[in-house]
Every structure is written in C-alpha cells, then in structure tokens.
C-alpha cells in the first residue's frame, strides 16, 4: 500500500487516449505533466493514456513524445506511476523502464491519514457489460498476451485497429447504463470484494476513470454539481470519477464536440482538488 505523508501531493489523470491523430491533446498532456512535475510530487496515470498500444516496440511520434515528457518529469524528481487501462493493457516493463515510471496493479491502494483510497482504471466495475468483461478476462491472460506480442508489429497494429472498431460499434449499440459502473459492484468493492473475485480489503474512497463520466459522488451516492475547480476534504464513502481528455474534437467519438480534460490532486492532509480544463 502506498502512503502519503501530510506534505505529499499526488496528481491523477486517466483516459487521455493519446495518438498521432490527437496532436492538441498530446500537447495538453505535455504541458500539464511539465506543470505538475516537481521534486517530491507524484503523478499516477490511471490507464488509457494511449488510444491503442500494440506493444513496447511501438514507435511513432506520439509514443516518443510521451516517453520524453515522462522522462523529463522523472528527471525533475517527480515519481510517475502507470496503471493499465482497456486500451494500453499490453504496455510492459520495457517501455516503463525506458520512461522511468513504475507499473502498478489494478486496484492499488494509498493511505491518507485514517482513510484508505482505492485507485483503479474502473473498467472492472462495469459488470453489466458482459461482452467486454469476457474480452477483458481473455486479454489480461499472460499467455494470450505473449502469443499476441510474438506476432509482427504490423499484424498487432492491424488487430488493434480491428478491436478498436469493434469496441466503437459495441459502444454505439449498447445502452448507456451498461457503460457505467454497476452500483452493486461498487458497494461490494467498498466492502473489499473486487469484481474479479479477489478480496482486497475494505477501503474508504474510490478513485477511477474509464467511464468518461466525471463526477464527485458523496457517501450517499449523490452526485455533486461539477464546476471548473472543485475542492474539498476526502470523506468515507466518496467516489471520484476522473474526466476523459479530448482537445481534438474532430476525432471525438463522444459526439458532443466539447473540448475537455482534467485531473485530480490528492494531498497528504486529506484535501482534494478536481480541476477541469473545459
């Protein structure tokens, strides 16, 4: 379990979906990371940093720029940590070591004072999407991953495009309800029963991304009205959902044409700040 001392600061972001086709979002990521990276700070990337990841031998302008941005942050004394999402689950130690960042399990836990905070990408909690959960179980199998990574890069990239296309079709034809977390799965998770069947222990606060439904849910599962900057103290039963990023609206499959993004800051004294870019 990680632990924040009273003077520590942790910045969390997820669902950036970076690629060569999203230059504005990529620039926003570089600017943001440089702005929060300083001696003693920590940055946790909670998955789907990349739109797609075909393997650590992937080499394009986006990949190189993300690597450089993370290396620069680490050189400043910032600790960068990465958790896999549903788009970049093939990212392994090779790329992480080159960047100087640490790979974390999902979920990971951090203690702030008397509170235990669970950090997750969030896709495991969307249990109503049975088809996706079936694919997730297969795609996280190390043997399946090894077999895929043994294929030539071009073949993997083509497969990734095919999976991405199928995912978009599945999302378009699915109800909005199954694309969100399941309320019962969340309740069980708070009691320590993670959706994959593991007992992870009780926790007080849940932080996740994946759903693209940025919100601050209070203990009674009520949702706070979002503003550009929200601040407060972490409370038992709170669920904070991180925003997705999109500064390139022409490549936005969310269809609202709205530029968006943001990040969550957790402090060792129990304070949080949710900063939105839109």
pLDDT bucket at 225, cuts 50 / 70 / 90: low
Of the listed ranges 78-82, 108-112, 134-138, 174-178, the least confidently predicted one is 174-178
pLDDT in tens, 155-199: 999 988 887 777 777 777 677 778 899 999 999 999 999 999 999
The whole-angstrom separation of Cα 189 and Cα 159 is: 33
Instruction: Please tell me the predicted confidence (pLDDT) of residue 249.
Output: 78
CB 187 within 8 A of CB 237: no
Q: Mean pLDDT of all residues in the chain?
A: 92
User: Would you state the torsion angle of the CA atoms of residues 159, 55, 59, 47, taken in this order, to the nearest 10 degrees?
Assistant: 100
Helix axes 142-149, 130-139, angle to 10 degrees: 70
The whole-angstrom separation of Cα 155 and Cα 54 is: 9
CB 52 within 8 A of CB 164: yes
């Amino acid at each position: 379990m990680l632990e924040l001392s009273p003077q520590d600061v942790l910045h969390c972001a997820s669902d950036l979906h970076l690629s060569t086709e999203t230059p504005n979002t990529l620039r926003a990521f570089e600017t943001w990371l440089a702005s929060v990276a300083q001696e003693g700070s920590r940055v946790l990337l909670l998955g789907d940093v990349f739109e797609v990841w075909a393997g650590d031998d992937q080499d394009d302008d986006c990949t190189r720029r993300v690597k450089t941005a993370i290396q620069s942050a680490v050189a400043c004394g910032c600790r960068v940590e990465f958790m896999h999402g549903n788009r970049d689950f093939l990212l392994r130690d090779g790329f992480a070591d080159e960047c100087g960042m640490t790979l974390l399990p999902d979920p990971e836990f951090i203690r702030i004072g008397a509170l235990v905070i669970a950090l997750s990408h969030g896709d495991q909690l969307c249990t109503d999407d049975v088809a996706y959960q079936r694919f997730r179980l297969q795609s996280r199998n190390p043997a399946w991953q090894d077999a895929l990574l043994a294929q030539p890069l071009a073949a993997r990239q083509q497969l990734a495009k095919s999976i991405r296309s199928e995912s978009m079709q599945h999302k378009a034809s699915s109800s909005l309800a199954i694309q969100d977390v399941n309320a019962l799965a969340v309740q069980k998770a708070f009691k320590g029963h993670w959706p994959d069947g593991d007992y992870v222990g009780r926790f007080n606060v849940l932080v996740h991304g994946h759903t693209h439904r940025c919100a601050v849910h209070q203990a009674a599962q009520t949702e706070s009205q979002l503003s550009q900057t929200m601040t407060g103290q972490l409370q038992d039963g709170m669920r904070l959902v991180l925003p997705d990023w999109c500064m390139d609206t022409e490549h936005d499959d969310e269809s609202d044409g709205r530029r968006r993004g943001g990040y969550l800051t957790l402090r060792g004294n129990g304070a949080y700040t949710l900063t939105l870019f839109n």
